[in-house]
Every structure is written in structure tokens, then in C-alpha cells.
Amino acid sequence: MAVRLSLTPRYPLLPTTYPIPPRATQFRRFAVQNSVSGSDESRKVPCFHSLSTISSSRLPHIACRERPIFPENAMLVLEVKEKLEREHSSLPLGRNGRDDEEMILWFLKDRKYSVEDAVAKLTKAINWRQEFGVDELTENSVKGMAETGKAFIHEFLDVNLRPVLIVVASKHLPAVHDPVEDEKLCVFYVEKALSKLPPGKEEILGIIDLRGFSIENADLKFLTFLFDVFYSYYPKRLGQVLFVEAPSVFRPLWQLTKPLLKSYASLARFCSVDTVRKEYFTEATLPAIFRN
């Protein structure tokens, strides 16, 4: 006699159309929508550590655009969104705003999924974007500084499929160039590099070409600004920084800067042009400035 057993719960924990794999630690943009709407109570999202501690009717529907995530993370995103709405309603909405779920998730990840810490860092970052005018930066607005050739985005990815931001230090003249315009060019190129991230990739590679570097190119303030931008406003987006062919005159500057960078100092690697050629690019993708 055949016996059929039904293991389908009366109220499934997750919509069957969105299966959660056993491990989903990498993620990109997703959309969150409460499965229960219409009441204030349904929008209260408690902090929890196990699916068993919350009613299935309160779980969100998760529509992942690239990779699925754990439902706990989706609930934390909702919690951050609602906290920002309550406490920082003046912050803008939309892309890179207080309701940008991908941005919220990224800052949660950076702050080890602490809602309080993520809200604090997000608030600072969103305010900075407004004050700095990040969304107003264009090719035309940074054209003058870009034409100096001091920095550019390489047309190819490195061997690890990371967009590449290259800085030519010998063309950086702090006594001549407007520091505000330098910072705008820097942020514009960071944004541009991030826009080139392939699906599933999260970090960019920075290369600082120090050939020909002299004391007139030294700029402690700008180097600190560069790392602070990544730490405060683009956390965990900088995978590595290569200091290529660093001359002895650069070492004192680095020793002054290194303590200010804290954990980000570990991302720095001093290397030769030959290392760049052999370890980071193929013959077809090698930047022209490292071919000779």
C-alpha cells in the first residue's frame, strides 16, 4: 500500500518561486516588498537571528535581480530603510538615496550587519554625496583636470575581472592644480570604475604609477582624501592598490600616511612594472603606459 505524506506547511516560510540556496553570501541589487501591507503593525520589522523566531506572514517577498540572499538580510534592509525614514526623512530617495536597497545592503555588510552602525554610516555617506555634488559630476565638468592625464579608467578589466583606476603620480601637481577639482576628478573616476563592475564582482583595482615621482608631486592631503573616500563612502570597494616603482623619495610620504589609513593600509602593495604585467593583465589587456 502506497502512503503519501504531505510535508508542505500550511504557511510556507518563503514563496516557492524564490528558493534560497544553502549558501548565498554574495549578492547584488534586490527588491524587498512586505507580504502584508496596509497596517502600521505589518511594517514593524524586528531584529532576529533565526527564521523560527518570526511569523511566516511577516517575512518579505524577495526578488533578487542577480543573486538570492538570506531572508534575515532582507529584514535588516527593511529595518534600516524604516529607521532612515523615521529619523532622517530629509535624505533623498532613489539611487544612492535612503531607500536604495543595494546601497543599504552594502553598508550593512560593511558594518557587520549592525543596523545602528549601518544607519550612521549611510547617513554620513548620503549627506556627503549631496554636499559634494557626486550626482552632478560629468565628463564635461571634470574635463579640464582629466586632460592633465593624471588619472584615467583603463578600458580593460584586470585578470580578476576588476575595473582599473590608474593614477600617474608624476602628473599630479598640488601647487598648480586646484585641490577641489582634483577631488572631483577622483570621485568621478571612482563612480565610473564602479559602474564597470561585471555581475558578481564588487571591487576595483587602483594602480598608482610612481615612475618619475618627485617632491613636487607629494600630496599627503590628497592621498589621505583618496583612502578616506573609500573607507567612509565606498566601503570595501577598493580591492587593492598597487604602488608601482616607488622611488625612495616616496617612502617618507607613505610612512606619514600609513597610520591614517588604518586597516586600508593592508590593501597597498609595492611592486614593479614587471609584476603588473605578469600578475594583473594579459598581453592583450595590459595598459599602454606599462608596455615600455
Looking at 105, 132, 159, the residue that finishes a domain is 132
Residue 61 is given by DSSP the state E
Phi-psi region of 76 (alpha: psi -120 to 50; beta: other; left: phi over 0): alpha
All three cell numbers of 225? 582624501
Instruction: Give the 3-state secondary structure of residue 153.
Output: strand
Q: For 61-65, 150-154, 178-182, which range has the lowest pLDDT when averaged over its residues? A: 61-65
Cα separation, 225 vs 265, whole angstroms:
14
- Which CATH number belongs to the domain containing residue 203 in this structure? 3.40.525.10
Please check the confidence at residue 187 and state whether its pLDDT lies above 80. yes
Is 164 inside a domain boundary? yes
Looking at 78, 102, 132, the residue that finishes a domain is 132
Average pLDDT of the residues of the chain = 81
Determine how β-strand 238-244 pairs with β-strand 204-209.
parallel
Is 12 inside a domain boundary? no
Cα separation, 190 vs 206, whole angstroms:
10
Same domain, 48 and 149: no
Looking at 132, 164, 180, the residue that finishes a domain is 132
pLDDT at 266: 92
Q: Using CA atoms in the order 83, 88, 90, 91, what is the torsion angle rounded to 10 degrees?
A: -80
Same domain, 283 and 159: yes
Structurally, the chain folds into a number of domains equal to 2
Please check the confidence at residue 40 and state whether its pLDDT lies above 60. no
Is 160 inside a domain boundary? yes
pLDDT at 262: 79
Instruction: Give the 3-state secondary structure of residue 164.
Output: strand
At 222-270, the pLDDT tens digits run 988 988 899 999 999 999 999 999 999 999 989 988 888 878 889 999 9
229 and 186 Cβ atoms separated by less than 8 Å: yes
Q: DSSP secondary structure string, 1-38?
A: ---------SS-SS-TTSPPPS-------EEEE-SS-S
At 140-160, the pLDDT tens digits run 999 999 999 999 999 999 999
| Bigger pLDDT: 18 vs 201 | 201
Cα separation, 15 vs 33, whole angstroms:
12
Same domain, 182 and 250: yes
Same domain, 65 and 165: no
Task: Give the pLDDT band of residue 69 (cuts 50, 70, 90).
Answer: low
Is 172 inside a domain boundary? yes
| Bigger pLDDT: 162 vs 253 | 162
Is 163 inside a domain boundary? yes
Residue 151: domain span: 145-290
At 129-139, the pLDDT tens digits run 999 999 999 99
Phi, psi (rounded to 5 degrees) for 244? -95, 125
| Bigger pLDDT: 220 vs 12 | 220
